[in-house]
Structures are given as structure tokens and as C-alpha cells.
Structure 1
Amino acid sequence: MRTQVGIIGAGPAGLLLAHLLHLRGVSSVVLELRSREYVERRVRAGVLEQGTVDTLVEAGVADRLLREGLRHHGIELRYGGAGHRVAFEDLVPGRAITVYGQQEVVKDLIAARLSYGGDIRFEVEDVAVHDIGTASPYITFGDERLDCDFLAGCDGFHGISRRAIPEGVLTEYERDYPFAWLGILARVKPSSEELIYARDDRGFALHSMRSPEISRFYLQVGPDERLEEWPDERVWAELKARLETVPGFTLATGEIIERGVTPMRSYVAEPMQYGRLYLAGDAAHIVPPTGAKGLNLAVADVRVLTEALARFYEDGTTDLLDGYSETCLSRVWRAQHFSWWMTTLLHTFDSDDAYGRRLQRSHLDYVTSSRAAATTLAENYVGLPFDRP
């Protein structure tokens, strides 16, 4: 087989790249290790920046998102027995976030690709990339070979793409946090119309949602926490202890339908390209979920890569391809800082560190009392425009 761009990974990055390239007349084949059912059911982040929503609308794949997504114009920071709303409509007019599950974005992109006969292969085995430093790279999988002009590694942190880059080429930056998130999905109506980020001495908690009937919650727990140590009764008791800290707020409880523990870490690989291989999304960088940036960074990468590849096929120039990594990394590091900042602002690091707790309280007071500080949070949370890093 031959195609112009071979894409490894059928997550949001790979599927959106394939769709955007199709709109620009560039052919691609998408290869995915997992089954279609698995990738469509895999629950991940659900907060879409303004620019991500705009990109999906422009690409013609947002009908269901606009119909079912929950548009939010603010978030609440809850600490010290009070809630403080960060009002996006006032601080960054015209920009907001939309709550719409990542798996729903994946479903929409798969449906769009299949509607025009795009080539996507699920459950492929023994995927390997070859000759990535040459002008004739190719992919092998099973007993087949796919020749390409370019390769896009969109296969996540544990995928094969980044590991195919020769040793010594990449500089890797990483940080592990001394806690994890216990996340649950519950069949219960949200107790708040907007997301609540709660800082409590017991640990961080997040109240989110997926639909008018389904809520999403997170608890800060130990890095080696085991799910069997968290029966339903303990989960709800701890959520209540951390969220029912303001007068008049009662947390609704219900059936827990899914749960999992997510490690908290930051990672960046530089450069995000080698030869004819270009990394996008989690294959190149990951962030702690506190800032809701993972999926949105993948979309930003894909926008840059689409334009670079389309320009190459239009006029043969490689300046955008040559500058892909530098362009993406300016935004990646801004998101890394924001995610680190939100994480350190809201989590308990050491219960005996009174000095650290007072610093956190001072910073929270500043963010909730200073328009300039609140604007910094708001514009980073809803996503910087794409004409900025």
C-alpha cells in the first residue's frame, strides 16, 4: 500500500489529523492497535477549549458537540469555607469551555472518516516504523507494508512512535507528583452548573460532569492507591468532606458506574520531530489533568502539522515542516506551566508543611481578589488563541 501520510493511533490527535488532511486533499491511513469499541468507550478528559471547539466546528464534525455539549462560562475555586467564581464572560469575553467527553469526540471523528471512505485499520498487530530518517519511510503491521511520504506518531505516551527515534536525539523533561487522582463516573445529576475545584486540607477534589444526568468526580489520593481500598461509601464520604464546605451546598450521590486511578506527571520530549516522523499529542507531551490541557494540546499540534503538510503538497516548501517542533513547543510549555501552576495551587503536598499551606492560601486569595490574576487563569483555562503560543 501507499499513502501520503501514515498515521499511528486512532485517538483524537490521529483521527483529527486524518480528517483535516482529507479536507486539504491529502491522503492518509490510520492504524490503531485497539478495537473500535475500545477507543470509542475509553473515558478521558472532557473539557474542550474555545479553540478546540472552533476547530471541530470548522472541520464540520461538531453537530453533536453543539447539540449535546455543556458550554460553561466560568469555574469555581472553593477553599476556606467559601466559593469564588472565575467569570470567563467578564474576564475573556466571547470565550468559554465546553464539557464534552473525549470519547464522544473520537466517535464523531470515526463516523466522519468512515462516511467518506477514509482508511482506518483497527486491531493491527506488530506495528513498526522504518527508515524514518529518509525520504521514504514506511510502516509494517502484521504481514502488510504501508509506504508513506510522512509519518505521524499519534499513539500516546506508551506508543511505538517516540521510541523509534534514535537514542540521543531527544531531550526529555519530566516531573512526577507525589499523588494521583481517583476518578469516578456516577449516574447522578451534577450538584453544580459549573466545575468546582476544591482545595481542602484533606486533599484536592474536583466536581465535573459529562451530561445533565452523569457526573464526574476526582479525589487526590496517594500515588500507589488501590481501587479496592475505595468502596462506594468511602468515595462519597470523602467527596462530601472536601466539597460540602460552603453553606447551602449538598452533594448529590448515586450509582458509581466507572472508577480508576490516574498518576499525575508532566513530560515533554524535544524535538517533536525526527526526519519524516512527527509526534503529536501524548506521544510528545503529557500534563497533569488539573489544567484540562491534554486533548486541547493535541488539537493544537494537529492544526500546526496539517498546515505544514498541506503547504508541502501545495508548493513543495518545507519551512513549516522544519519549524513544526518549535512552533508546537512554545504552546506546549505554556500549557505545562499552567498545568503545574494549577496543580501546585490546589493540591496538598505535605500535611505538616504549614508554610506551604499559607503560601497556597495567599495565592488563592490573590487569584480570587485580583482581576489581573483571575484574567491570567481565565485566558489560559479557556485556551489561548491559535495566533499566540
Structure 2
Amino acid sequence: MLSSMRTQVGIIGAGPAGLLLSHLLHLRGISSVVLERRSRDYVERRVRAGVLEQGTVDTLVESGVGERLLREGLVHDGIELRYGGAGHRVAFEKLVPGRAITVYGQQEVVRDLIAARLAAGGDIRFEVDDVAVHSLEDAPYVTFGGERLDCDFIAGCDGFHGVSRPSVPEGVITVYEREYPFAWLGILARVAPSAEELIYARTGRGFALHSMRSPEISRFYLQVPAGQDLDEWPDERIWAELKARLETVPGFTLATGEIIEKGITPLRSFVAEPMRHGRLFLAGDAAHIVPPTGAKGLNLAVADVRVLTEALTRFYADGSAALLDDYSDICLKRVWRAQHFSWWMTTLLHTFDSDDAYGRRLQTSYLDYVTSSDAAATTLAENYVGMPYEVSP
């Protein structure tokens, strides 16, 4: 016999999407329970994206969880595109005045949200097992670890490999996806950043990205072949390759230090639509994945949650389901814009085939256009800092 409890919104997944949704709903007086199969320590230490759009920063600050973000986040008013032996700055302050990006690790966002929810008495269940969703069309409930959670709605915020999306009946969801013939080798290093802003470097050896997490911690990425074994990349080789791809402009020297974390991530584009079935709503990576080149993953999750929060607020305020019915269409409009931008940045900066001289010349031509035309640079800048929200809670 299952022990039973009830809430208004059952949330599966304690990543940024699930935690932010629970927090925003709490501010609207809507109850929720968050279920997470991993431990709190794992969730808070999991290193992911670290570039926050202007709208993401505004959302966190306006909802009361931005104090540490404002204190410790690194505000950037531009990025550098480095290719052909020169660096070219895309100046956000000129092209999109008043909008910037903030470097602040996803795990820090998660820590802030967990602290806020627990301080407010929020119900987050870590290390739950055997999670399953049921009766999605009319009276949804979630079972887990010998318990049953009845709810009005279920939010599937449990990522690409979670249980939410596969619970939708076959044939309801259409999947669009693309896999890339390379991966990113990412490292965290205990060394001060060698530049004040992110550097996106395109070279004949492959792509490299210089980023940072704090004034003392740097983040780097290298394009490597898909399926590459991490054992093939000892620290010495990683630093040598980063130097070869980043020390391509006069006067730039890459500082090196202790590598404290490294891993290889395959690149893929993925969209599942619609993002709703019955009373199950998918958000974040459960519904869409983008290659990290455009820094959109976490930011798309925040955008989804904003729409879902407003839709649920209206439903509980006056019974209107209109925005719930429009949830998927509204979110997918932004998702596909981000899909295109992320694909464009990826194809612009990565090496696809060492023998494709024609493709390399096309890349150079478009990079020349972006770095010489304010119109082209503005397109990159406004997508990078984040398009305006269509629905605002």
C-alpha cells in the first residue's frame, strides 16, 4: 500500500528548471513537491553551463535569489571571435545597449535556488527511486519509493534521460534531432583567466573556447572527435592543444594551472514537440537540447519555466487554461530560434572535415562579414544576450 500525499504541481527534477519553477510558484502561492533521483551534493556540484542571458539574470534577481549572483557573477559586455591570426570583439554595449551576459556557474544557480526553497519550507526530495508518472490526461499522479504524489499538473524537468518524456504515449511527440561529428572536451582549471571576456577561437586544428567561472577559476573547451576517450587527453596534452588554438594573436599568452575537473560531452541538437501531453508539461532539457556553442541550454530552461509559471498562475487565479494550451507553441518559438543560433555558431566555428577547403572558406567569409558589419554583428549580439520574452510572469 502506497502512502499518499497531495500538492498542486508535482515537479520531477531538481535542476535549474525544476527548482526555479518551484520557487516562482511558491511566490505565487502555488504548492509543489520536487523529486530528484540524485543526491543534493551531486546536484549542487554538477558542473554545467555558466553564461546567463540578461533575461535570466533579471528573472533570478526579481525573484529574490540574485544576491550572490550580483555579488559574484562576472558581467561581460562582449565576446571575442578569434580567427586568422587576429581577435575581433563583438561589443554588446554598442550593438545591444543595456543588455549583457553574466558568467555564473549553473551549479551556483542551483545552490541559490535550493537554499531559497529550503529556507521557505519547500519540499525537495533527493535520492528518490522508481519515479513514474500516471494518468496524464485527467488525474495525474507520481509514484516513487513506495509513495504516491497526487497533483493537478506534472512538470517534467528531469533532463534528456529522465522519465517524463518517455512516459508520453508513442506517436504523440515528434522528435527532431541532429548529432555532430565532434565533441567538447571541457576542463576547469585553478588559474586566473587569461582574458577579461570569452574567446571563441576557430583554427585549422579545431575550435577552442576560453571562459571563466571566477577571478581564480578558468573554464576551457576543445573540439575533439566524437567518441574520443578521455584517457587520451592527459593534462599536458590539453594545455598544449589549448595553447596551439588560443595563442594565435600577437601578445596573447595562455596561463596554465592545475586541472581540477575534466570531461567530454557529445554535441547534439534535439527538440521534442509538443512540449505538453495532457497535464504533463516538459521544460528544459527534457524537451530540447542545443550544442553549447551558443550558451542557450540553461537560458531556455528559464524561459520555459517563466511561461509555465504564468500559465499555472492564471489557471489557479480564474480557471483559464488558455495559456496552458498555448504553452508549447510559445516555448517552441523561442526554442527554434535558439536551435538555429546554436547550430549557426557551431557550424561557423568548428572544423567539420579537414579536406573541406570550400567549407573553410565559407566560414572565413562569414566571420569576416560578422566582424566588419554592424548589422551582422548585431544579429549575433542580440541572440547571444537573449531575445525578449514573449510572456512575462
How high is the TM-score relative to the length of structure 1?
0.99
Q: Secondary structure at the match of 1:290?
A: helix
Aligned residue for 1:137? 140
- Alpha-carbon displacement from aligned partner over 1:58-113 (angstroms, at most 9, x marks no partner): 10000000000000000000000000000000000000000000000000000000
**2:33 alignment partner, one of 29, 34, 45:** 29
Aligned to 2:381: 378
Question: Secondary structure of 1:7's match?
Answer: strand
* Equivalent of 1:60 in 38, 59, 64: 64
Are 1:85 and 2:93 an aligned pair?
no
> d(CA) in 1 for partners of 2:228 and 2:217?
25
Percent identical residues: 84
Please state how far the C-alpha of 1:388 moved relative to its aligned partner: 8.1
Query: Which residues in structure 2 correspond to 1:124-273 (within 5 Å)?
Result: 124-134=128-138, 136-273=139-276
Structure 2 residue aligned with 1:365: 368
Q: How many residues align?
A: 388
Answer whether contact 2:306 2:391 (CA < 8 A) is retained. Answer: no
Q: 1:133 Cα shift?
A: 1.3
For 1:375 and 1:152, locate their aligned partners in 2 and report how far apart those are by CA, in whole Å: 35
- How many Å separate the matches in 2 of 1:388 and 1:277? 20
CA distance in 2, matches of 1:130, 1:171: 21
- Tell me the alpha carbon deviations over residues 271-320 of structure 1, each in whole angstroms, 9 at most, x when there is no partner: 00000000000000000000000000000000000000010000000000
**Match for residue 327 of structure 2?**
324
* 1:74 matched residue in structure 2: 78
Q: Which amino acid aligns with 1:103?
A: Q
- Where 1:323 maps in the other structure, the secondary structure is helix
Q: Give the aligned residue type for 1:131.
A: S
Post-superposition offset of 1:19: 0.3
Q: Structure 1 stretches of 5 or more lacking a match?
A: none
Contact 2:330 2:390 in 1 (8 A): no
Q: Which amino acid aligns with 1:363?
A: Y
In structure 1, C-alpha distance between the alignment counterparts of 2:174 and 2:227, rounded to whole Å? 28
- Aligned partner of 1:112 in structure 2 is 116
TM-score, structure 2 length as denominator? 0.98
> Which residue of 38, 48, 68 maps to 1:44?
48
The aligned residue for residue 304 of structure 1 is 307
For structure 2, which runs of at least 5 residues remain unmatched after alignment? Answer: none
Whole-angstrom distance in 1 between the partners of 2:391 and 2:146: 44
Kindly state the Cα deviation for residue 385 of structure 1 after the two structures are TM-superposed: 1.2
Match of residue 6, structure 2, among 2, 5, 10: 2
User: Post-superposition shift, 1:212?
Assistant: 0.1
- 1-structure distance, mates of 2:270, 2:48: 18
Rounded Cα–Cα distance in structure 2 between residues aligned with 1:310 and 1:89 = 35
1:353 aligns with 2:356: yes
